[in-house]
Structure 1
Amino acid sequence: MISLGSVPGAEAAAAAASHGVAGPRSWRKSRWGPRNFSVEDLRTWRRERESALRSARRHQQLISKRLLCEDTLMDEGQVGTDSGPAAPLSEEEISQLLKNIQRGKEDRATSLRLLRQGLQHRENQQKFIRLEGSMRVLIGLFTGNLADLQMDAARCLHELSHSSDPDVVEACLPATSYLLTYLSGHSVALMELCLYTLGNLVVEMTAVKKQLLPQGIIPVLASCIQSPHVVVQEGVGYVLSQLLQSKEAPAEIIPLVLNSTLPKDMLHLVCSNLEEGIGAAVEFAWGLHYIICSRVNNSLLISQRTVPSLVQLLLELASVMSTTSVEGVELLICPVVRCVANLLAEDEVGDGELVEQEERLLRALFEFIQYFVSEHLFIAQECLWLINNLTADSIRSCSALLNPDLFTSLLKLLSYERLSLLVLTVLCNIAAKGSAYCQAQHQKAVLFPLISILALPDDKVVAQDLELLHLLFHHWPEAAADFVGQSGLQALEQHQDKLQLQERVKVLIWTAKELTALPQNCPLRASAENLPSTSLQS
């Protein structure tokens, strides 16, 4: 999963870029006649297409384990000062350390720390769990009343939980109930260690999750999230994110989470106290994203005003982008934008959810795009996806985008290869609203970049470009004359031999020629409704 300290920005960018790019719509050629695509046709097509794209959008970040670094082991006079990988120990050496720990000698704490250091090595982990009674001794120390030994035993369990060996993880199963118990304790350091150990364990085995659910992990996390300590909050977010990404989550875990107080608390922590706890905010934002992607009960999240709350957060972040000192804010923007985009695609979102905020939200999204497009292109992609969902049904958003500053900014993004397809999709959303919107785009010189795009080798981008041209010609025939006058037909002709494009290219060439040949005062020129249309329904 993405967190401030665990996943490089390149992985985040790759994750954000890999889904959600709209493909070309299918075109069907028709003859002169009464068939036109109505508003209802467009809505039906849009809902079907959005459903498919939303499914592709449900990209879940790679589940990863996390190993806490214990600064206390680096203090002078303590073992474990070697920060390099632990050396393999023989089975006899591990057995001797275990005996020293059991015998209650004065150096048992030293032996336990040496064991902890040794357990950083995979071979040592396997040798340790094969020793009879080894886990029983370790769990006994973990549940004992000697605080120092308890912490060192907890660190040993944490090292084992970080293993990728299923046998090692399975050996930790008897400790899960105790790990949950100590989440109700008073030691913040121990709570943090227990949380990350649990988070690591749930990655590997279904058996761990099946054991933790009846043991009450969801109510325990609902209690832990109330902690005033940021490190505990972030640990809760880590465990939740690991649980919510599992295959069992939609059926077994998310319903329990939704029936608890967790969603409201998660939303609160995403939207508050960011300078102290942006790590926790990032964890919980991804957690909300996974819940929303499951679609188990998004109507509940909508009823809890999740959309307005997250929109307000985006507005606040945009207002301080140039002055903020919070590092990694782009890792928070990414899941928050996804949450809003996916919830807006739900039918339950009322028309009044964003009535007063739509233009402000659009401006905030362009603020993010401008700020991050050079170094974090994936943020621009996420923002354009949300703009796509805003403009799909909203006349208000389409009108706002036609403001000179926003529209100019949108057209500039066509020069980015990885953004052009999404930009064209947004422009199609605007054009589909009718003649006034096509006229406005035409007057704002949209044709020149569209003709330039026809020279690109990417067939998906060209197909989306063709669709936009079709909408412009259909709703505003004057655009066809300018298109021809700007050598648009020559640009189209180079695609006539491409199997995937040739039919729609031929239709568009024929349409442009027919419209250009009509007299200026011809009724058909004023309205291209009766010209051959390429249906937008798939």
Structure 2
Amino acid sequence: MWSGRQGRLRPVGCVVEELRCRRREREAALRKARREQQLISKRLLRDDASEEAEGGCVAMILGETEIQHFLRLAQQGTEEKERERALVSLRRGLQHPETQQTFIWLEGSMRTLVGLLTSNQALLQLEAARCLHELSHSEQSAVAEACLPATSYLLTYLSGHSSDFIELCLYTLGNLIVESEAVRRQLLPQGIVPALAACIQSPHLTVLEALGYALSQLLQVKEAPEMIIPSVLGSTLPEHILRLLQPGPKLNLGVAVEFAWCLHYIICSQVDNTLLISHGGVSTLGLLLLDMAGAVQRTEDTGLELLACPVLRCLSNLLTEAAMEVVGGQNQLEDERVVAALFILLQFFLQKQPSLLPEGLWLLNNLTGMCHNVPRTFRYWTYLLTDLAKQTVLVSVPPCSPWI
């Protein structure tokens, strides 16, 4: 059956290099499209349960008069609770695009909000930061530009002591970074990469997950390969990212997913993958693959499909590096257990996530290509994987290139 298919699909008068060029061009187009889609992704950190507990008030669209009233009350109110309530009302109003537009064009509004953000009262600071977070989630680029005066303070507060406040600042910065080039131009010289490198040592999982999101947003921007990723590779971030991806009882799924995507964007930039390989990137990802295979055998609902995709892509792309031979990477994955783990994962995700099958087959292709002495058990698991691929109608699976 397969020989017949191969005969029909075999190109006539087309050299291997030409095929590779075509594939690279197609993958570059897919990568560009995927990045453009991801550039608009933003996250909103909103506690709906807390909002309901506070009275379940419906957020109203605010006009100039109401915005000025709440800002004045937050700035000059006689009691702290009264000032906090005014900012809460403003934050709820800022959930509407109409209020956001009115706010940014209102003279002095952002200056007042930044003043409240830098006040010495923690509750007012937190509510002012929440107002900025609502603005950062806007789909209008003008709103992100208007938040520019606040970004330096958000960056400074990453070295604070409140994990909730740091988490909020990270998500806000992540939203703004991806929307505005002006924000990036301001934050890069002010040291956003060293600030993120300091944050990654936080013991709080919520901070680490928010950091992974902010970093992944930064790594996806168009100027990342030239201006950002070299700085990231020159910092302590890569070794800490690999540390957070090491399997074990301390591995957290949410944190691992965010940093696996960070690693994927770094690898795809091809700035210096030798560094990642020398830090043990291949062995870390291989062990993580084994750990995931064990996890899906123990439980039915693990949520590991979110982690499997970036891990498979990272491992596949690192295996294509010529530097693998230089740093001894060939011996890191010449183990049939990796192919067995790949089979277990793909069998588990076959019905739930069929788009992972091409990812796994791409890894298998690169894995077998780097192994010189293929043991019999390796060939056995490879056969099972190929047989698994036969059972799936690949034309129904959307293209999902590991190079994206």
Q: TM-score range by the shorter chain?
A: 0.7 to 0.9
Q: Which amino acid aligns with 2:195?
A: V
Residue 61 (structure 2) aligned to one of 70, 84, 88: 88
Structure 1 position 327 matched with structure 2 position 302:
yes
Residue 76 (structure 2) aligned to one of 87, 103, 111: 103
**TM-score, normalised via structure 2 length:** 0.87
The answer to whether the 8 Å contact 1:413/1:419 transfers is no
| Residues 8-27 of structure 1 deviation map (CA, whole Å, 9 limit, x = unaligned) | xxxxxxxxxxxxxxx95633
Structure 1 position 387 matched with structure 2 position 372:
no
The answer to whether the 8 Å contact 2:158/2:169 transfers is yes
Q: Which amino acid aligns with 1:185?
A: G
Distance 1:103 1:156, change over 3 A: same
Q: What is the Cα deviation at residue 397 of structure 1?
A: 4.7
The answer to whether the 8 Å contact 2:62/2:99 transfers is yes
Residue 133 (structure 1) aligned to one of 62, 84, 108: 108
* Match in the other structure for 2:51: 74
Structure 1 position 62 matched with structure 2 position 47:
no
* Match in the other structure for 2:195: 220
Q: What is the Cα deviation at residue 336 of structure 1?
A: 0.7
* Match in the other structure for 1:312: 287
For the residues of structure 1 that align with 2:172 and 2:278, how far apart are their CA atoms? 34
Structure 1 position 160 matched with structure 2 position 148:
no
* Match in the other structure for 2:184: 209
The answer to whether the 8 Å contact 2:296/2:302 transfers is no
| Equivalent residues in 2 for 1:347-358, closer than 5 Å | 347-350=322-325, 352-355=328-331, 357-358=334-335
* Match in the other structure for 1:413: 389
For the residues of structure 2 that align with 1:25 and 1:295, how far apart are their CA atoms? 31
The answer to whether the 8 Å contact 1:234/1:280 transfers is yes
* Match in the other structure for 2:3: none
For the residues of structure 2 that align with 1:57 and 1:181, how far apart are their CA atoms? 37
The answer to whether the 8 Å contact 2:67/2:90 transfers is yes
The answer to whether the 8 Å contact 1:413/1:420 transfers is no
* Match in the other structure for 2:94: 119
Distance 1:299 1:270, change over 3 A: same
* Match in the other structure for 2:401: none
For the residues of structure 2 that align with 1:373 and 1:72, how far apart are their CA atoms? 36
Tell me the SS of whatever aligns to 1:89.
Answer: coil
Distance 1:127 1:133, change over 3 A: same
Q: Which amino acid aligns with 1:67?
A: L
For the residues of structure 2 that align with 1:216 and 1:157, how far apart are their CA atoms? 21
Distance 1:295 1:221, change over 3 A: same
* Match in the other structure for 1:373: 350
| Residues 196-253 of structure 1 deviation map (CA, whole Å, 9 limit, x = unaligned) | 0000001111111111100100000000000000011111101110010000100000
| Residues 313-338 of structure 1 deviation map (CA, whole Å, 9 limit, x = unaligned) | 11122123211477321111110110
Q: What is the Cα deviation at residue 275 of structure 1?
A: 6.6
Q: What is the Cα deviation at residue 308 of structure 1?
A: 1.1
Distance 1:419 1:310, change over 3 A: farther
The structure whose residues are more often helix, as a share, is 2
For the residues of structure 2 that align with 1:419 and 1:176, how far apart are their CA atoms? 46
Structure 1 segments (4+ residues) deviating >4 Å: 44-59, 272-276, 397-401
The answer to whether the 8 Å contact 2:44/2:133 transfers is yes
Distance 1:56 1:93, change over 3 A: closer
Q: What is the Cα deviation at residue 126 of structure 1?
A: 0.9
- Which is greater in Rg? 1
Residue 360 (structure 1) aligned to one of 337, 347, 369: 337
For the residues of structure 1 that align with 2:76 and 2:133, how far apart are their CA atoms? 23
Q: What is the Cα deviation at residue 341 of structure 1?
A: 0.3
Tell me the SS of whatever aligns to 2:298.
Answer: coil
For the residues of structure 2 that align with 1:127 and 1:358, how far apart are their CA atoms? 61
For the residues of structure 2 that align with 1:190 and 1:72, how far apart are their CA atoms? 19
| Equivalent residues in 2 for 1:453-472, closer than 5 Å | none
Distance 1:377 1:72, change over 3 A: closer
| Residues 147-182 of structure 1 deviation map (CA, whole Å, 9 limit, x = unaligned) | 111111110010011111122111100011100111
For the residues of structure 2 that align with 1:212 and 1:326, how far apart are their CA atoms? 40
| Equivalent residues in 2 for 1:445-524, closer than 5 Å | none
| Residues 35-62 of structure 1 deviation map (CA, whole Å, 9 limit, x = unaligned) | xxxxxx97x7897677567646745462
Q: What is the Cα deviation at residue 390 of structure 1?
A: 1.6
Structure 1 position 250 matched with structure 2 position 262:
no
Aligned CA RMSD, in angstroms, stands at 2.8
The answer to whether the 8 Å contact 1:390/1:397 transfers is no
| Residues 498-526 of structure 1 deviation map (CA, whole Å, 9 limit, x = unaligned) | xxxxxxxxxxxxxxxxxxxxxxxxxxxxx
Q: What is the Cα deviation at residue 391 of structure 1?
A: 2.5
The answer to whether the 8 Å contact 1:66/1:162 transfers is yes
The answer to whether the 8 Å contact 2:199/2:211 transfers is yes
Distance 1:360 1:273, change over 3 A: closer
**TM-score, normalised via structure 1 length:** 0.66
Percent identical: 50
- Mean CA deviation greater in 350-359 or 159-168: 350-359
| Residues 401-442 of structure 1 deviation map (CA, whole Å, 9 limit, x = unaligned) | 532x64144224213121799xxxxxxxxxxxxxxxxxxxxx
**Which protein has greater RCO, CA pairs closer than 8 Å, 6+ apart?**
1
Tell me the SS of whatever aligns to 2:245.
Answer: helix
Distance 1:408 1:191, change over 3 A: closer
Q: What is the Cα deviation at residue 364 of structure 1?
A: 0.8
The answer to whether the 8 Å contact 2:216/2:259 transfers is yes
Distance 1:163 1:48, change over 3 A: closer
For the residues of structure 2 that align with 1:256 and 1:381, how far apart are their CA atoms? 33
| Residues 441-485 of structure 1 deviation map (CA, whole Å, 9 limit, x = unaligned) | xxxxxxxxxxxxxxxxxxxxxxxxxxxxxxxxxxxxxxxxxxxxx
* Match in the other structure for 2:12: 27
For the residues of structure 2 that align with 1:99 and 1:206, how far apart are their CA atoms? 32
The answer to whether the 8 Å contact 1:101/1:108 transfers is yes
* Match in the other structure for 2:402: none
Q: Structure 1: give runs of 5+ residues left out of the alignment.
A: 1-22, 30-40, 422-538
The answer to whether the 8 Å contact 1:266/1:288 transfers is yes
Q: Which amino acid aligns with 2:68?
A: S
The answer to whether the 8 Å contact 2:330/2:371 transfers is no
